[in-house]
Amino acid sequence: MSAILLAGLLSAAAVHTAYLPLPQAPGQQVALHCIAPAQATGRSVLFIHGASFPTMLAAGFEFAPGDSWMAFMARRGYLACGLDFIGFGASSRPPAMEADEAGTPVDRAAEAAAQIALAVDYLRGTRGMAKVHLVAHSWGTIPAAAFAASHPHALASLTLFGPVTPVAHPDGEPVRSAWWGITAQARYRQLRFLDVLPRGMVLLEPAVDAVWAARFEASAPHVAGDPRGQLRIPAGPVADIGEAQAGRYPYAAGDVRVPVFVVYGDHDTVVGDASAAGFLARFDASPLRWRLRIDHGTHVMHLERARRSLYESVDAFIHAAEAFR
């Protein structure tokens, strides 16, 4: 990724980016963006993004200079980091994303969980973090929980924000493409949830309206021959979401042995009260389980006016998890 493109995504004064090579894909690397606390505490939070946009458009998005979820957690004393999966943000684009659309979906949950493992190893080993708290959103909750299930001693807690839960009538069509395309403006319009929210209700922060689409446009290279403005997005998350909505997850929830927090907004279209309760009940080996619905929030509450309630609730859960253990 060019220096100009990366500069448009990062706040250079606060964010340091480490590039972690993928052992199974020579020449490919994932980007881990971090904001350090004023004083080292040995505690860290690792943010995991969802299916369509990278860390610096999610937990790292600045609503004003120094105002992001990552920056908030750094001020609370955590080394706050966010991972870009392969094919997203500042990470490498695998060859399949430069080729024709048809192919094996890029970034299935197992691949993504291996990338999370790289980031956690970096935080625990290179950065010396004694405690790593994983905070995942939407599709990212699937590889995050898969990692937690297969690495029972690597994490201090697991937060699942807007997790993908089973639905009554899942789409049974298999995904046969490596990537899919959307324009930045089209994705921004989806974030407004006009077909979900009561008439006249606006939840997105003004900064999202002002700059988010332009930053999303800058977050991915454009491929010659594609429709004007189209961004290529890995299709693996779409395949994983379909499987999860059918009740098929790439992990056994009972293997997760750390505190688990399920949090979502009252206007979330992916998870609701009943499905969240049933979903969380499956994590029966977790020593501490929290569930919280925050009013006036959609599936992208981290970009909305209720975001500080989300920040505070996750921080409170992490404190409870550490005290419990």
Which CATH number goes with the domain that contains 147?
A: 3.40.50.1820
Mean pLDDT of 279-300: 98
With contact defined as beta carbons under 8 Å apart, do 106 and 97 qualify?
A: yes
Better-scored residue on pLDDT, 91 or 7: 91
- Place 307 in a pLDDT band, splitting at 50, 70 and 90: very high
Paired sense of beta strands 16-21 and 29-35, if any: antiparallel
DSSP 8-state assignment for residue 198: P
Q: How many domains does the chain have?
A: 1
Range of the domain at 9: 3-324
Q: Is the dihedral of CA 161, 142, 242, 276 positive or negative?
A: negative
With contact defined as beta carbons under 8 Å apart, do 264 and 273 qualify?
A: no
Residue with token string 């890029």: 106
- Place 170 in a pLDDT band, splitting at 50, 70 and 90: confident
- Place 3 in a pLDDT band, splitting at 50, 70 and 90: very low
Put simply, whether the predicted model's pTM sits higher than 0.75 gets the answer yes
Q: Which two tokens stand for residue 15?
A: 């964010």
Cβ contacts of 28 within 8 Å, gap of 6 or more:
21, 22, 86, 92, 94
Mean pLDDT of 227-250: 96
Give the model's pLDDT for residue 4: 39
